[in-house]
Amino acid sequence: MRSWSRRGFLTVAGASLLWAGGRGAGPSPFAITTAKGGEGRFRVTILHVNDVHSRIEPVNVRDGTCARPQDEAENCFGGVARLATAIRERRNALRAAGEAVLTLDAGDQFQGSLFYTAYNGQAEVEFMNRIGFDAMALGNHEFDRGPDVLADFIEAAAFPVLSGNTVVDAGQRLGEALDERAILEAGGRRIGVLSVLTPATATIASPGPAVRFTDEIAYLRRAVGGIRAAGAEAVLLLSHVGFSRDQEIAAQVGGLSAIIGGHSHTLLSNSVDGAPAYATLIEDPDGQAVPVVQAYAYSKYLGEIALVFDEAGYVVGAEGDTRLLDDTIEPDREIAARIEELGGPVEALKATPVATVAAFVDGSRQSCRTGECAMGNLVADAMLAGVRDPAVTIAIHNAGGLRASLDAGQVTLGDVLTVLPFQNTLATMRLAGRDIVAALEAGLQGFGEGGGGFPQVAGLRFGFDPRRPAGGRIRWVEVTEGAAWVPIDPEAVYAVVTNDFLRGGGDGYRPFADSAIDAYDHGPGLDEAVADYLSDNAPYRAGLDNRIVDLSR
């Protein structure tokens, strides 16, 4: 897989960088030119977001919902009212200049705030309709409440919702509502849009038995030719598979013009230190350059890429970047008023005090998906307490289920629900020591790629080496025996609490589904257990105590 640097293709200072070669000429160098295009070329600008995760209200620097004083103090970002203004102003300016423009969403509108909890996606689709999206990819979280809730969302959408590698059994509402592809008109040109969703959705969400997911690359190799034969002059892939997989797709599938991605919450930027280039350029099997873009998450950034195509629909020039949606953008007043109206029924719930927290509790993606984190310890300890069974001595929770941090001070039920938005319940089982170790190994499968399966634990500690191949990273595991830590016994049976999602094999935890003894998946809600634990231990003080040891450090 060959990748070019942004200096070889893109700038953000007004110049487009055009490829000197043409299709069929083989790989050619890129050369800088100030031309915006030439005879026989056309240009389309894409405005795009991904992984909004129900952040209808603005978010703070840690991506949690902003308290109103924070927003008034200009310390918050995004939110759909601000997003609406940013998209409207750019779209109007581009159209006034005679530019073609499309507005796309790369999936995961669902899950992450009380608006989703209260309205099952109907608030999200209302605001997307108001903003005027042209198409959306399915994300894995669109399946979190099953296919019927997703079908309700799609039926309310004024734009096509796409996923080509999602296969739905005949007679299902979702199958009737979901589109495989779309051909959109932009500036008199027919722009094809394909979409793929990570096949891991089968285990990391709740699609049900009537929904299956096929390999993305195998599907796209068939689909690109089909949409071009149907009249598409260029082909965009609106994907929800993650930045790494997007690059693999670009390198292995011919005929794609560009990839607008999501799922991995990757910030591509030409202005943020350490970020991958916006766009990242990958050479396809025919020697063509395929720009890959993504715009972080949580409505915090808006991506904008202007693509210049040759007559065959391949990209010969591009410019753009992601834009932080900060306080310089005035929120749309009508949408802000509608948010206020919809927020009424959930405000009392959000404001219910739970406890005080003595210090910041880190629940960030960066911390919790790579090692022991304070939020993981809090939730795992709360799970053990919530079971109220002294025989249950081990708790295991997936880092992907932790969606925010907690600031010091008063914690409300709304804060807890923002951390734990998935409405999971406690699940208990008995499990052999060898199966517990296998489950921990499964949780480390996606280490280094932002995988949500990373285990946060209580009543157990382990050492792992991420330098070793997947399947052999766990080096030791210890459990409590009285007041002492002892090596786990592969043949002994232990009582374990987890959440119902993991107990069913979610995030790759197949040992929980396949080897559990006396499993019970319908205990109290996880958010309830955490709220009770905070209340019982107020003022709660977070801490780390070497439950998880990274042996590479």
Domain boundary assignment for the chain: 3-340, 353-550
CATH class name, domain 353-550: alpha beta
Tens-digit pLDDT string for the chain (553 aa): 544 444 334 432 233 333 323 333 322 223 223 233 344 489 999 999 999 989 999 998 867 778 664 445 458 999 999 999 999 999 999 999 999 999 999 999 998 788 888 899 999 999 999 999 999 999 998 998 999 999 999 999 999 999 999 999 999 999 999 999 999 999 999 999 999 999 989 977 889 999 999 999 999 999 999 999 999 999 999 999 999 999 999 999 999 999 999 998 899 999 999 999 999 999 999 999 999 999 999 999 999 999 999 999 999 999 999 999 999 999 999 999 999 999 988 887 778 899 999 999 999 999 999 999 999 999 999 999 999 889 999 999 999 999 999 999 999 998 998 899 877 889 999 999 999 999 999 999 989 887 899 999 999 999 999 999 999 999 999 999 988 999 999 999 999 999 989 998 999 999 999 999 999 876 778 988 999 999 999 999 989 999 999 999 9
H-assigned helices in 447-519: 500-503, 510-515
Alpha-carbon gap, residue 468 to 471, rounded angstroms = 8
Tell me which CATH code domain 3-340 carries. 3.60.21.10
- Residue 61's nearest CA partner among 73, 50, 77 is 77
* Fold matches, 3-340 and 353-550: no
For helices 526-536 and 374-387, angle between their N-to-C axes, nearest 10 degrees: 100
Count of residues making up the chain = 553
Strands 517-520 and 426-432: antiparallel
Question: What is the identity of the amino acid at 447?
Answer: F
* pTM beyond cutoff 0.85: no
Dihedral through CA 93, CA 95, CA 100, CA 106, nearest 10? Answer: 50
Alpha-carbon gap, residue 453 to 410, rounded angstroms = 30
Question: What is the identity of the amino acid at 180?
Answer: E
Preceding omega of 539 cis (within 30 degrees of 0) = yes
